Amino acid sequence: MVLMRASLRLRFVASLLGLLTLGAAAPARASLVLALDLPTMVSRAEHVAVVDVASVKADWDAHHEQILTTIDLVVVESWKGGDAPSSHLTVVQPGGTVGDLTQTIHGMTRFVPGERAVVFLSGRAGRLNVVGMAQGKRGVRRDDATGRFLVHAPDKAGATFIRSTTTTQPSPVFEAHARPLEDLRADVRALAAKPATAPGAKPGTPTGGTK
């Protein structure tokens, strides 16, 4: 008996109001996801924190129709939400591998046990989701030369991130260079302390960009 690995590919499009499933395709094109600036990321997140990934487990949903992955995150430090160090945050997102079946959601961020990251999370306790799909998780690694922790640009996870408006000057959606952890911490905490932006307000700098 020969077992073959199957892949269910779904395409997602992110709009200003949420994510719309376009359906399966073969071959699959990259998902289009709306790029969110840092102020928008912070305002949409109930939790912004540096975390360590404790575990990643995938299983079928109750109806055996969709694979869901549950990620257990341990808080290292909280920038928004007041989560205590060593407390746990649980993220549940579609996609994952169960046995020989893999469900891939292009643009959905991936977690690896043992890695450290900055995460932007929203939703209810025990079932949080990542804000902006792949935009809501940025890897944190120590620079060997300086010993400083650096926050890297999000892994696009097979998606194409687009701006909500056109520009005559081409520029990357995400800052190409890693940022010192303390710089992003200061920006996020300053934004979290501000009153909520009024509906329809103009977004600020691109996600991950410098001031």
Instruction: Tell whether 202 is covered by a domain.
Output: no
Question: Residue 40: is its pLDDT beyond 70?
Answer: yes
Q: Half-sphere exposure of 117 toward its Cβ, with a 13 Å CA cutoff?
A: 26
What's this model's pTM, rounded to 2 decimal places?
0.76
- C-alpha to C-alpha distance for 83 and 143, rounded to whole angstroms: 26
Instruction: Tell whether 205 is covered by a domain.
Output: no
Question: Residue 3: is its pLDDT beyond 50?
Answer: no
Instruction: Tell whether 166 is covered by a domain.
Output: yes
2 vs 171, more confident: 171
Mean pLDDT, residues 54-74 taken together: 96
Instruction: Tell whether 210 is covered by a domain.
Output: no
Confidence band, pLDDT 50/70/90 cuts, at residue 47:
very high
Q: What are phi and psi of 206, to 5 degrees?
A: -60, 150
Domain count, the chain: 1
pLDDT at 63: 92
Instruction: Tell whether 207 is covered by a domain.
Output: no
What is the β-pairing status of strands 101-105 and 149-151?
Answer: unpaired
Burial of 182 (0-12, 13-18, 19+ CB in 10 A): exposed
36 vs 118, more confident: 118
Domain that residue 81 falls in: 6-193
Of 110, 115, 150, which is closest to residue 133 (Cα–Cα)?
110
pLDDT at 156: 84
The lowest-confidence range among 10-14, 82-86, 94-98 is 10-14
A 10 A CB-CB count for 192 gives 15
Mean pLDDT, residues 158-170 taken together: 67
pLDDT at 175: 63
45 vs 36, more confident: 45
pLDDT at 50: 98
Instruction: Tell whether 150 is covered by a domain.
Output: yes
Mean pLDDT, residues 96-106 taken together: 92
Question: Residue 29: is its pLDDT beyond 60?
Answer: no
Burial of 134 (0-12, 13-18, 19+ CB in 10 A): buried
Mean pLDDT, residues 33-47 taken together: 92
A 10 A CB-CB count for 190 gives 11
Instruction: Tell whether 41 is covered by a domain.
Output: yes
CA dist 69 to 93, 138, 189, Å?
5, 18, 29
Question: Residue 202: is its pLDDT beyond 80?
Answer: no
- C-alpha to C-alpha distance for 153 and 71, rounded to whole angstroms: 21
Residues ≥6 apart with Cβ < 8 Å to 89: 47, 49, 51, 72, 73, 75, 83, 119, 121, 128
Confidence band, pLDDT 50/70/90 cuts, at residue 49:
very high
Instruction: Tell whether 125 is covered by a domain.
Output: yes
Confidence band, pLDDT 50/70/90 cuts, at residue 55:
very high
pLDDT at 34: 86
